A and B are shown apart, each in its own frame.
Chain A
């Protein structure tokens, strides 16, 4: 399997990269880890006229936490997220997801930005970002703007990012006391796209009531799905079995899977229900442990 020819550019600044995107409208693709893009090019499903390799831009690979956010640079490798003590301690949802993305070798190349911008409903980080209510920093010819994760995913392989924009930073609201998050992925084997996967981020008050809830779903719709009704339902609830079961039903209702080799629609919807229930319980236990 051989990719078609393309022009290859290695900008050293974000500005230069944006310029190159501007000069090749409709032709250019940003190359980060390349784990999805290069495979699709080898299958000749994607034939970009130009690849803009952003791996040579200094300062795009980082993971740091300030009092507001966990900040992830676009070219931060998935394994760097998995290996971070900050993530393991306060953002377990990202460690859960990171361990389930592709396989350990692919995760050495795969990037946070790529996983988020590719727009494949099977990518695992988008649902986490929806649950965590993350923000994405985008740079374009007219400067920079912030896009809420919950406004980012428009359709399969289609995001709010303009063709001449580059995602530079992912901002996850700082998780602290009372925060509990988890990601569960049902897959046929290591490296598969999810049959169904559920991301949950909760903030539980000292009174034991859920102050904030976020629920994201992977690969059960044209994009990653934010299950708003389920999340809103949980506001103020303490997370009894009945409440969690109810939220799981609402998440199921929010899913819109298609039948494929992983199973038919009714099965996938039921898996959304089951895994939402289980993941909510895990997140709730973690939140209680975080007080």
Chain B
């Protein structure tokens, strides 16, 4: 079929490209990126860390939640250049030396996931929540994960999963594991 096609040209204005240095899951990275590159795309496409997902594009669903300097942020609404010099942790960092993080254990033991798509973001939000409040009430848990949407579970078992992890005790969020 004849469709209008051209050779790709590529040119970008100087100040719209930056070199960033950041640590991702403990590994130092130096990358040249477009200033508009969203952190979630940097993680997924430049580093191929595809555990972090995109759900809503407008910071409502939390599927893209990662830890930046230990704080949970929505990586679909953060520019990679804003993370320059920072420590980024994704779901891929939770399991350490073949040992699951208590939050990962909780989610599978309590059936806190179904399709699994919101799960990495939900677990990272949980790690941050427990770092700040190691023994939350159900009300505090529900408020604590209210930046993350799950369409499958109805949240009942996610609450149980978080209570399970809290009972195990979790490492500080900064380590991510």
Contact = CB atoms under 8 A, between A and B. Distances in A.
**Chains A and B touch (C-beta atoms under 8 A apart):** yes
Interface of A: 1-10, 31, 34-35, 38-39, 41-43, 50-51, 53, 55, 79, 102-106, 108-109, 190-191
A191 B57 contact: no
B57 A105 contact: no
A43 B34 CA distance: 18
A7 to B, nearest CB: 4
A53 B81 contact: yes
Interface of B: 12-16, 18, 34-36, 38, 57-60, 62, 65, 71-74, 77-79, 81-82, 84, 125, 128-129, 143-144, 146-148
A39 B76 CA distance: 9
A1, A39, A103, most chain B CB atoms within 10 A: A103
Contacts of A10: 81, 84
B36 A1 contact: no
Nearest to A5: B16
10 contacts: A4-B36, A39-B57, A39-B58, A51-B35, A102-B59, A104-B72, A104-B147, A106-B147, A190-B146, A190-B147
Nearest to A43: B58
A73 B58 CA distance: 26
Contacts of B13: 5, 7
Can you list the 8 inter-chain pairs with the closest CB atoms, starting with the nearest? A103-B147, A8-B35, A105-B147, A7-B15, A1-B57, A190-B146, A108-B71, A105-B72
B146 A8 contact: no
Nearest to A192: B60
B110 to A, nearest CB: 21
Q: Is chain B's binding surface mostly helix, strand, loop or mixed? A: mixed
B146 A104 contact: yes
Contacts of A104: 72, 125, 129, 143-144, 146-147
Contacts of B57: 1, 39, 42
Contact of B36 (A6, A39, A108, A190): A6
Contacts of B36: 2-6, 41
A51 B74 CA distance: 19
A6 B78 CA distance: 15
Given A9-B15, A191-B146, A105 B35 contact: no
Contact of A105 (B14, B65, B79): B65
B16 A106 contact: no
A110 B143 CA distance: 17
A276 to B, nearest CB: 25
Contact of B146 (A103, A108, A109): A103
